[in-house]
Structure 1
């Protein structure tokens, strides 16, 4: 009776090593392994490239000084090497504090015309690393002028958010859940829904998951760990949008690229999205590429919204809300288009397995 196995055989009927290797590692498997290697190296390049050498670039700083002094002080700060600061005049200290709390400025220098000690207003809630960097730069400038500076934190971090990373890690956790649940749905039920109705069902399941994940994350970061102040309902809404947007786009990528779509999702939301999100270092401390892409990815938009809700009373939220909305619309639209134009072999199309033959019939055969 034929065994149904082809290939050269050695002594005792065993196949040779090369034949076994050829069957075990086919072209598709080799390409997937190479793709994983590329993603791994991309991960290293992205994270180290974004975070290994932070230095400020055009960090916004307001200057409060008398009219006869302000232009020279602004010009001096803007003329520092590497354009580390982006200074502009501000009418008074109250206006400067308001603009920092509205996220229009990162810091502000208040010049004291009657003494030699000035005040630097910072917001550690915008990122302690940036506040520290600007403090060092301004201190050097003041020392060269024979002046000193005292630092005042006008938007401090919560006691449970010592390093200011909770907004970032919350957004990252939501992103991870979004692409993981979409990947699992694709693996278990087919990367492309069998029809439009199945696509709607799958997106509905993702929405329910997103609601649960958003609420769970908001409760953990808020009342359970006391890491983030702010509205639980608002954070819940942000989490739902992040998870659903990431999940829907991952579904769409699977529809068009099969299992390779999962790798593309990892590229977008892990390799590119996490280091550029502005969590570890705010945008002025990141290199140009990561500084440019961060605000337009769900990781960065979610981090910005979490931080705004927790510390800045919901100011400057329009852009990140539009970004998340765009990811949701694109993900849902592409998933629906793919399910209509290129219906897959989801569970609705899978053939039913044949019934096992009776033992007697098997013996007779």
Structure 2
């Protein structure tokens, strides 16, 4: 009964390991994209109303149709109502020029917000025709005012991928990885700006490269800092944070004033959203409202750097403890930064297999073997551990009643295999794993009561094998 339950548990675990990551993304998209974007409507949209237009009457009319949709502020003149939009203190300005009502909007904040404002103030004016003036128009190639989002995404998602690929660069220490992030961020920013301005998608303003640099560096540095702590959960955390949560709350597809809570609150802190706000401020509002999002991006960079520093201190203390002298300086210099597993890029995961005749669709073993005792009888329950070239454990398993074991998913190259059992001397072997081939490593475990000279000769011979 137990022999049948073990394969079922192994299959259930393998299925759970394969499904949990897609399940996290599924739930994240379900609960972020749909609720945030399915029905945009105004939420506390700030509008500046000139005294001559009757702010109290406008506020009452808007509240009657959009409860909680607008926050009306009074300004003395139509000019100040218009300037409030340019200064990004309000999303719309409203005034009456003689008998003609005028609405000041900024398409740079998004065409959907402009349409919402026009519709809302159309109910305020009654029968009088509403004149709409766009005080911050976008380029002819950006008719919806959302192009900045697509360029920001081009700097956002590859930045996360950069952090995960740098995990494989074990020859680079933390300082060199940060330098690589800075160089790549600068290159991506310059190339992206050159494409956007060259094709007319973005107005020509080199300050765009600075925001692009900060966004790329913020995402890559934060993901790099999270990696040592999140480990195998990094892809789920990183993609949820920088894709699932970031894109719907960016204010690019649906402007932030049309997002419900808590998505508007997330807009204030997410790196992608702050980059979109900063880009709009630079390109269309003369730099207004840029300082805050730039500071938020810098805070993300500082947070990621702090996490890297915390990981450095953690390994420094571990090296000092291993060194045993309380100083750890020499040990710290000698201990390389340990690699971090990222299952999004390193598949398949090394796994122990039940030993049976494999059927179509089952994973093929890449390493098999038999563990026997000195009398060539199988050793049941012997522990078999597979190590990579750096001595890090990849997978462990135990032998069945016939002393057999099997594992799959090992990386190509040389691996170490150690077999041990209670009361017996452990034996180590070295094998090379090649794609499409099955390596074999058999072991003979001798009891500790055996002749010491013979047991001592067995270990080197086994290692050489």
Same fold at TM > 0.5 = yes
- Paired residue secondary structure (2:120): helix
The residue that corresponds to 1:189 in the other structure is: 169
Give the whole-Å Cα distance in 1 for the aligned partners of 2:74 and 2:31: 39
CA distance in 1, matches of 2:254, 2:32: 14
Quote the residue 1:131 is aligned against.
114
- What's 2:124 paired with? 141
Q: Map 1:50-89 to 2 at 5 A.
A: 50-66=36-52, 69-78=54-63, 80-89=65-74
Answering whether residue 86 of structure 2 is matched by residue 101 of structure 1, we say yes
1:171 aligns to what?
A: 152
The secondary structure found in structure 2 opposite 1:82 is coil
C-alpha deviations, 1:224-251, integer Å up to 9, x for none? x21111412x111111111111011111
Equivalent residue for 1:35, pick from 12, 21, 24: 21
CA spacing shift, 1:142–1:26, aligned 2, 3 Å: same
Is 1:256 equivalent to 2:249 in the alignment? Answer: no
Matched residue, 1:48: 34
Matches within 5 A, 1:3-18: none
Higher strand share: 2
Q: Deviations over 1:174-227 (max 9, x none)?
A: 1101100111122x236xxx9xx811111111111111111111111112x211
Alignment RMSD, CA only?
2.9
Q: Distance in 2 between matches of 1:28 and 1:91?
A: 68
Q: Deviations over 1:276-326 (max 9, x none)?
A: 010011111111111111121111011111111111111111110111000
2:189 to 193, 202, 214: 214
CA distance in 1: counterparts of 2:173 and 2:164, whole angstroms: 16
Instruction: Report the Cα distance in structure 2 between the residues aligned to 1:263 and 1:70, rounded to whole angstroms.
Output: 48
Which contiguous aligned blocks of 4+ residues in structure 1 show a shift greater than 2 angstroms? 18-23, 25-33, 69-81, 342-347, 349-357
Q: d(CA) in 1 for partners of 2:159 and 2:192?
A: 13
| Partner Cα distance (2:173, 2:390) in 1 | 13
Secondary structure of 2:130 counterpart: strand
Find the partner of 1:204 among 176, 179, 184.
179
Larger helix proportion of the pair: 1
Please report the TM-score for the alignment, with normalisation by the length of structure 1. 0.82
Q: Distance in 1 between matches of 2:313 and 2:61?
A: 61
- 8 Å CA contact 1:181–1:247 kept in 2: the answer is yes
Is this contact kept in 2: 1:255–1:339, CA < 8 A? no
CA apart distance, 1:71: 3.6
Task: Please give the secondary structure, in 2, of the residue aligned with 1:108.
Answer: strand
Alignment check: 8 A CA contact 1:61 1:109 kept: yes
In structure 2, do the counterparts of structure 1 residues 247 and 50 end up closer, same or farther at CA, with 3 Å as the change threshold? same
User: How far, CA to CA, are the matches of 1:256 and 1:29 in structure 2?
Assistant: 24
Q: Rate the CA distance shift 1:104–1:230 in 2: closer, same or farther, 3 A.
A: farther
Measured against aligned partners, the alpha-carbon deviations of 1:57-91 in whole angstroms (never above 9, x if no partner) come to 12121112438x44433444355432222112222
Alignment partners' CA distance in 2, 1:165 and 1:299: 13
3-state DSSP of counterpart to 1:255:
helix
Alignment of 1:277-316 (within 5 A): 277-316=250-289
| TM-aligned CA distance change 1:255 to 1:28, over 3 Å | farther
Which of structures 1 and 2 has the bigger CA Rg?
2
Instruction: Please state how far the C-alpha of 1:150 moved relative to its aligned partner.
Output: 1.6
Cα pair distance change 1:40/1:317, threshold 3 Å:
same
Structure with more contact order per residue of length (Cα contacts < 8 Å, sep ≥ 6): 1
Shift of 1:19: 7.5
Separation in 1 of the partners of 2:155 and 2:133? 33
Aligned residues: 332
Q: Check if 1:226 corresponds to 2:219.
A: no
8 Å CA contact retained: 1:59, 1:106: yes
Contact between 2:108 and 2:145, CA under 8 Å: does it hold in 1?
Answer: yes
1:119 corresponds, among 102, 119, 125, to 102
Q: Which runs of 5+ in 1 are unaligned?
A: 1-6, 9-15
219, 241, 251: which one aligns with 1:246: 219
Does residue 318 in structure 1 map to residue 291 in structure 2? yes
1:327-346 alignment to 2 at 5 Å? 327-342=300-315, 344-346=337-339
Q: Does 1:160 align with 2:151?
A: no
The answer as to whether partners of 1:65 and 1:111 remain within 8 angstroms in 2 is no
